[in-house]
A = this chain, B = another copy of it.
Amino acid sequence: MPHNAAATGTAALSANFANLRVDGPRLWSSLMETAAFGRTLKGGLCRLALSPEDAAVRRWFVEACESSGCTVTIDQLGNIFARRAGSDPDLPPIAIGSHLDTQPTGGRFDGILGVLAGLEVLRTLEHAGVVTRHPLEVVNWTNEEGARFAPAMLCAGVFAGAFDLDYALSREDKNGVTLARALAESGFDGTAPVGGRPLAAHFELHIEQGPVLEAEGREIGVVSGVQGIRWFDVEISGLACHAGTMPMKLRRDALQAAARLAVAVDEIGCSDPDTSLSTIGIFEAYPGSRNTVPETIRMSVDLRHPRAEGLDRLEAAFHAAAEQIAAALKVMIEIKPVWSSPPVVFDPRVVDAIAAATEALGYSRRSIVSGAGHDSVYISRVAPTGMIFVPCENGISHNEAENIMPIEAERGANVLLQAVLQFDSAT
């Protein structure tokens, strides 16, 4: 129960908080103001992690948070925690996190919306004089994109125990600059230990980076989890021969086997179209001569599903199709797994708080699974976690053309605010 609710009674105050809204124009103004740091000619952003542009937006963020009465802590990986005290000092903080770094030709909203909406929540509460039970911490996670230092989501990953601190500090960019050196150069080489402390929850507002909400006309995506991914390399070996002299029935055509396998992989993904994805992104034919039947095809297969058993089913169907095609076309098909990322299911308490807040705000919504990775993927290992999606124009992201409307940012931030308040009251 919020602190200043004590004076007037829970019912009235619940109603009062339920009417609390963010300041949409102020949020939009923050988004546009910070878009000056690393702006590209095409109106996007190039704000690589810990670059001078990233350091500039970080300083802006720290100052804005401190101006709203927060205490800012920076850990050894430059993760920034802007803490607003709660009424119960024994409770762990509710975190609201995302990232301010971008792709080299990135947009103005991917990650940034989540951090600045967190700031807007702090400002709204401050302006309304509301004190939550839990402390709130708005977090800027370092190097989410992985565009400067691989892998992606590196510093949230260390916070959650997925990577070692030293591993992270030793990552190098393409010029051989380590993360440790970049932290020192940016002035964000903090001293707080990375992780090792509880969070009551982690909320993340993000643009969808896909077209589903826009296509269906839904205002809010209540993210139930992040799909699992399995990557395979496929090599198909047939027999090269002359296109003019080898009869169709005597051929062992690697390309025809690959084409049939590609169609089968597509059909496997479409068999369960609301949850499954299957993609052939790489397809190379050798020797690649117009009048020679191809001998070798190398292709990639990308299978995605929100549940491990779903991935197992897709993979089994893929193997079965490959086996059947290899036999029918008299070719060899070799399948090599190259990477796997298990599915994440978000905490029902956080997801329910988001759904309830969306409902109370009267926004249209749908449950959605995140196709891309986010800081929340790692944080979900150590804290109850959930995400809110808002639509983005044509589903375009990782692109300077990335765009959203002000009202979409405002709706997302209102859901964030109300979901945090609901979670704060309920736990």
List the interface of chain A (C-beta within 8 A of B).
Answer: 208-212, 215, 227, 229, 231, 241-250, 253, 255-256, 258-260, 262-263, 266, 269-270, 273-274, 276-285, 288-294, 297, 300, 302, 304, 371-372, 395, 397-398
Contact = CB atoms under 8 A, between A and B. Distances in A.
A269 B294 CA distance: 16
A288 B282 CA distance: 5
Contact of A290 (B231, B292, B397): B231
Given A256-B262, A302-B290, A282 B279 contact: no
B282 A245 contact: no
Closest 4 CB pairs of A and B: A210-B245, A244-B371, A245-B371, A243-B279
A395 B241 contact: yes
A196 B420 CA distance: 95
Nearest to A208: B245
Nearest to A270: B248
Nearest to A300: B290
A289 B281 CA distance: 5
A285 B288 contact: no
A302 B260 contact: no
B243 A281 contact: yes
Contact of A256 (B209, B243, B248, B266): B266
Contacts of A270: 248-249
Nearest to A304: B244
A292 B285 contact: no
A415 B290 CA distance: 34
Given A248-B276, A255-B262, A266-B248, A371 B242 contact: yes
22 contacts: A208-B245, A210-B242, A210-B246, A211-B241, A241-B395, A242-B397, A243-B371, A244-B277, A244-B304, A246-B277, A246-B395, A247-B273, A248-B266, A248-B269, A248-B278, A249-B273, A255-B262, A255-B280, A259-B260, A281-B293, A284-B284, A284-B285
